[in-house]
Amino acid sequence: MAKTQTKAAAKLPLNEILSGDCIEEMNALPENSVDLIFADPPYNLQLKGDLHRPDNSKVDAVDDDWDQFDSFAVYDKFSREWLRAARRILKPNGAIWVIGSYHNIYRVGSALQDAGFWILNDVVWRKSNPMPNFRGVRLTNAHETMIWAGKSEKSKPTFNYEALKALNDGVQMRSDWLLPICNGNERIKDDNGEKAHPTQKPESLLHRIIVGSTNAGDVILDPFFGSGTTGAVAKKLGRDFIGIEREAKYRKVAEKRIKGIRRFDKESLLVSTSKRAEPRVPFGQLVERGMLKPGDQLFSLNGRHSAKIRADGTLIAHDQRGSIHQVGAALEGAPSCNGWTYWCFKKRGEAIPIDMLRKKIRAEMRAN
């Protein structure tokens, strides 16, 4: 199994931009080989006539040839095909992010569910500086929608909860993200000074996605690579990327852009990790190592209960026997209990959570 994956990974065209149709190119890649896919598929915009600002200057709308689709049926077929190809190359625990607007996201979201992907969250990118609705006939279209989905219901995709919490000043990251659109220095211009790609995404958006849902060294594929924002941020953050882009002019823009980017140093790539990633320490080890002794009393954090430690690392309190978790849960009448934070021992009259002792052991383990 491990060997197969290594072999598959060895065949991947890492940190390259593939030329051609994304469905064909994805079909040529080995299955179960990619950790994350970020996709910004063409929008099914149906602009009737040109859109003008109040001063009659023309708005540079997204009206390139590749963005026109005859009907929902054609668009749906296209969506189903690229999603199927994308799903094949994803690792079993891989995930996908798709971004879209109301023109296409309901089609894409349905196709994604039908293909077997399992939605984890949808995320709203709130633009801090959206284009106003010049004619005053609608609400300002101030957001785009992203869908984050695992390859299947059974998938266990990477989610760096603590890192995203840190990015959000210590409170859970929500499903609505306020970020500016890509303009100013970041917006790539061509030789004529015009924007090199009509829908260049901001790097801040990809930063949050990549920090939140990949680990360093992961492979991120973008089937609609465009100006290469995915590749640029992946490189900065020490991830590998695979880009697919049909249009030569965009490939050229992206290649030049990514060449000029340097990876952040290793230490700053580390992000806050979850306790779940820490090695498990059985409570019995505290007894074996003499940090606590059989016969010692433990006291509940709320002071209402006490229990005695037995030689095998179980507790006994009245008629309750079992692990620190089981006895804690039973005494509290709770469905479950984290014994590590529930129980305290006394040292010079002071109650100290037994988790302090576990931390000590873990620090020793790290030192060795």
Partner DNA sequence: GATGCCAGTGAATCGACAG
Partner DNA sequence: GCTGTCGATTCACTGGCAT
Q: How far apart are CA 297 and CA 178, in angstroms?
A: 51
**Partner from a second copy, DNA, none contacting 364, C-beta within 5 to 8 A by type:** a second copy
- Around Cβ 341, how many Cβ atoms within 10 Å? 12
Helix axes 203-213, 229-236, angle to 10 degrees: 50
Residue by residue, what is the 3-state secondary structure of 194-261?
A: CECCCCCCCHHHHHHHHHHHCCCCCEEEECCCCCCHHHHHHHHCCCEEEEEECCHHHHHHHHHHHHCC
Q: How far apart are CA 151 and CA 2, in angstroms?
A: 19
Q: How far apart are CA 333 and CA 338, in angstroms?
A: 13
Query: Which of positions 9-38 make contact with a second copy (CB under 8 A)?
Result: none
Query: Which of positions 96-115 make contact with a second copy (CB under 8 A)?
Result: 102-103, 105-110, 112-114
Among 17, 99, 237, 317, binds a second copy (CB under 8 A): 237
Q: How far apart are CA 323 and CA 284, in angstroms?
A: 9
**Partner from DNA, a second copy, none contacting 365, C-beta within 5 to 8 A by type:** a second copy
Q: How far apart are CA 13 and CA 343, in angstroms?
A: 53
Q: Is 271 in the site for a second copy (CB under 8 A)?
A: yes
Ramachandran area for residue 60 (φ above 0: left; ψ -120 to 50: alpha; else beta): beta
Q: How far apart are CA 144 and CA 72, in angstroms?
A: 20
Query: Which of positions 120-179 make contact with a second copy (CB under 8 A)?
Result: 120-124, 126, 128-130, 132-133, 136-143, 145, 147-148, 159-164, 166-170, 172-176, 178-179
Contact letters (x/-) for DNA, 1-30, by CB under 7 A?
A: ------------------------------
**Partner from DNA, a second copy, none contacting 116, C-beta within 5 to 8 A by type:** none
Query: Which of positions 297-316 make contact with a second copy (CB under 8 A)?
Result: 308-314, 316
Query: Which of positions 67-106 make contact with DNA (CB under 7 A)?
Result: 67, 101-103
Q: Is 45 in the site for a second copy (CB under 8 A)?
A: no
Query: Which of positions 177-236 make contact with DNA (CB under 7 A)?
Result: 180-185, 187, 195, 198-200
Query: Which of positions 295-324 make contact with DNA (CB under 7 A)?
Result: 322-324
Contact, 30 vs 8, CB < 8 A? Answer: yes
Instruction: Report which secondary-structure segment, H or E, holds 119.
Output: strand 118-127
Among 19, 68, 183, 336, binds a second copy (CB under 8 A): 336
Q: Which of 324, 350, 348 is nearest to 338 (CA)?
A: 324
Query: Which of positions 276-295 make contact with a second copy (CB under 8 A)?
Result: 280, 282-285, 287-290, 293-295
- 3-class SS of residue 154: coil
Q: Is 337 in the site for a second copy (CB under 8 A)?
A: yes
Q: How far apart are CA 61 and CA 303, in angstroms?
A: 66
Task: Kindly determine how many residues on this chain lie close enough to bind DNA according to the rule CB under 7 A.
Answer: 82
Among 339, 343, 344, 354, binds DNA (CB under 7 A): 339
Is the dihedral angle over the CA atoms 273, 274, 280, 282 positive or is it negative? positive
Q: Is 53 in the site for a second copy (CB under 8 A)?
A: no
Segment lying near DNA (by CB under 7 A), choices 8-16, 28-36, 208-216, 275-283 = 275-283
Among 10, 14, 59, 352, binds DNA (CB under 7 A): 59
Q: Of 19 and 272, which has the nearer Cβ to DNA?
A: 272
The C-alpha torsion from 150 through 89 and 35 to 235, rounded to 10°, is -130
Contact letters (x/-) for DNA, 111-150, by CB under 7 A?
A: --x----xxxx------xxxxxxxxxxx-xx--x------
Q: Is 264 in the site for DNA (CB under 7 A)?
A: no
Q: Of 21 and 332, which has the nearer Cβ to a second copy?
A: 332
